């Protein structure tokens, strides 16, 4: 795992014990820090008492904590070189003297009381990406590429990682993709850490100086976490504000907020660091089977610019583009059945993200819906002419049916399984059944991955 000597002897609170939270607890303890960890989910707290954390700071006695209103193991001094672990809700603690409160990106810091409590104690709210930034001095010499944007982050992150590996550079993808970064083994000298960074993660990061920072685009998303769209765009801009002069900035300028950030970088005296990715650039994508459509042209251009900044040769970049396998749940070709192609684009969790798939295929039976992030589908409108029929599901089923009915036949299917069956019954050879929901998944599924797997299963069940 990735650890830092800078953590030794310090005290941290960790709020949220999903994958990244647990990895953070492990890393901090290994680095010699003391940790007060908490999750509102009791099952998550129980995991703290399981191996390998069991015995690393936990005492055998169990006492009642009046502040928690429940029993809590009493921490004992830990073995030399390891930190101390205790189970405690940071909202019940005096945070004075803590080095940081590490919160999960899923914690809404704009309205969660932990933000005010940390502010009063003068303690920073940070995330695991900030801890990674603090640990960089203890790692073998390496580079970091940070990728943000509303759409295309995962594809571009995976593509840069793939090109690095194709070129023989040790690389790993982390951040908002794959396994938690602190739980990974450090790369050898010359390695490249390729980090997908959501705005939430950037909000919790103070010192990540990316050797290459990439912004793909900015469109309305996650507005419940910000004071308007301007606040969301400002979060993205912080990735470049944390960079040193001389480090590369790659920015798509296809939308006004991103173009404004590119101007900010240039005005700050970093015009020589800046590569601007303009929309609508004609490219021969015929040799890149997993990178079709105009949106992937932008993703590819950004990846090319980032890899060039890393010093990777053109031949390796070309080979990486040609052999890139694509991402699960992102325009993933699941199966062709009776001449009908079934495509899983479950990762399209907002209308802007769903729009590219509508333009990438002809004669589409479109399955969409879930927990809506917007009350319109205007971003998808350029692809409406490709849709034979729409099948709406989830909380947004009725609203989306109303929005789409003037432009195309619509069936309110309700559930994903029912939508797949209905689309299969209507689709003709040469047509495509496309799950591209334009919505979050949380009304009916754990996450977009579970939704995508349910689509795969429903397709397989067709026989």
Residues labelled catalytic: 153, 176, 222
Alpha carbon distance 200, 235 (integer Å):
8
* Token duo for residue 104: 């999960």
Reply yes or no: is the peptide bond before residue 178 cis, omega within 30 of 0.
Answer: no
Q: How far is CA 457 from the centre of its chain?
A: 24
Give the residue carrying structure tokens 């399955």.
367
Burial environment of residue 60 by CB neighbours within 10 A (0 to 12, 13 to 18, 19 or more): exposed
Nearest to 354 by CA among 382, 393, 328, 375: 382
Nearest to 152 by CA among 24, 376, 302: 302
Give the other-Cβ count within 10 Å of 115's Cβ.
Answer: 16
Residues 6+ apart with CB under 8 A from 456: 334, 344
Q: How far is CA 153 from the centre of its chain?
A: 7
Alpha carbon distance 255, 300 (integer Å):
17
Give the residue carrying structure tokens 């479950």.
346
């Amino acid at each position: 795992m990735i650890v830092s000597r800078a953590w030794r002897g310090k005290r941290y609170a960790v709020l949220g014990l999903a994958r990244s939270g647990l990895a953070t607890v492990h890393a901090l303890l290994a680095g010699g820090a003391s940790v007060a960890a908490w999750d509102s989910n009791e099952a998550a707290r129980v995991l703290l008492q399981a191996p390998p954390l069991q015995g690393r700071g936990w005492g055998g006695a169990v006492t009642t904590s009046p502040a928690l209103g429940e029993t809590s193991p009493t921490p004992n001094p830990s073995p030399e070189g390891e930190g101390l672990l205790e189970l405690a809700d940071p909202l019940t603690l005096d945070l004075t003297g803590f080095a940081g409160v590490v919160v999960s990106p899923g914690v809404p810091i704009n309205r969660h009381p932990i933000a005010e409590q940390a502010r009063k104690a003068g303690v920073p709210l940070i995330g695991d990406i900030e801890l990674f930034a603090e640990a960089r001095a203890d790692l073998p010499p390496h580079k970091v590429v940070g990728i943000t944007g509303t759409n295309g982050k995962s594809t571009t992150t995976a593509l840069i990682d793939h090109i690095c590996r194709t070129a023989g550079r040790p690389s790993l993808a982390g951040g908002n993709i794959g396994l938690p970064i602190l739980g990974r083994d450090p790369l050898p000298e010359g390695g490249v850490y390729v980090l997908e960074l959501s705005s939430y993660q950037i909000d919790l990061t103070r010192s990540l100086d990316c050797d290459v920072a990439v912004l793909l685009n900015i469109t309305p998303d996650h507005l419940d976490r910000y004071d308007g769209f301007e606040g969301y765009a400002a979060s993205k801009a912080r990735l470049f504000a944390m960079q040193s002069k001389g480090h590369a900035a790659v920015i798509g300028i296809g939308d006004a907020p991103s173009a404004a950030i590119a101007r900010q970088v240039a005005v700050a005296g970093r015009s020589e660091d800046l590569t601007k990715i303009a929309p609508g650039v004609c490219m021969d994508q015929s040799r890149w089977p997993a990178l079709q459509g105009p949106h992937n042209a932008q993703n590819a251009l950004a990846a090319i610019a980032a890899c060039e900044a890393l010093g990777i040769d053109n031949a390796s970049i070309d080979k990486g583009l040609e052999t890139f396998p694509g991402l699960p749940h992102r325009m993933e070709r699941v199966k062709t059945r009776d001449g009908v192609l079934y495509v899983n684009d479950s990762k399209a969790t907002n209308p802007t993200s769903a729009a590219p798939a509508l333009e990438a295929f002809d004669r589409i039976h479109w399955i969409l819906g879930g927990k809506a992030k917007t009350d319109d589908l205007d971003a998808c409108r350029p692809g409406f002419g490709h849709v034979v029929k729409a099948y709406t599901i989830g909380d947004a089923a009725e609203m989306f049916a109303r929005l789409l009915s003037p432009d195309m036949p619509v069936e309110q299917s309700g559930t994903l399984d029912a939508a797949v069956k209905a689309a299969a019954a209507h689709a003709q050879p040469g047509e495509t059944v496309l799950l591209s929901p334009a919505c979050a998944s949380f009304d009916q599924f754990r996450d977009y991955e579970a939704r995508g797997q349910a689509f795969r299963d429903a397709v397989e069940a067709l026989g």
